[in-house]
Amino acid sequence: MVQYSQSHFDTSFAALSDATRRGVLEQLGRADASITDLASQFHMTLTGMKKHVGILEQIGLVTTEKIGRVRTCKLGQRRLEEEAAWIENYRKIWAARFDALDLIVDELKYTEKLNEPKK
Write down the domain spans for the chain. Answer: 6-75, 79-119
Question: pTM of the prediction?
Answer: 0.74
Assigned CATH for 6-75: 1.10.10.10
What's the length of the chain?
A: 119
How high is the pLDDT of residue 1?
A: 45
Which residues, at least 6 apart from 28, have a Cβ–Cβ distance to it below 8 Å? 62, 73, 74, 75
* The pLDDT of residue 91: 94
Which residues of the chain register pLDDT less than 50? 1
**Strand boundaries in 1-61, DSSP class E:** 33-34
Q: Where are the beta strands (DSSP E) in 1-116?
A: 33-34, 62-67, 70-75
pLDDT at residue 6, as a whole number: 65
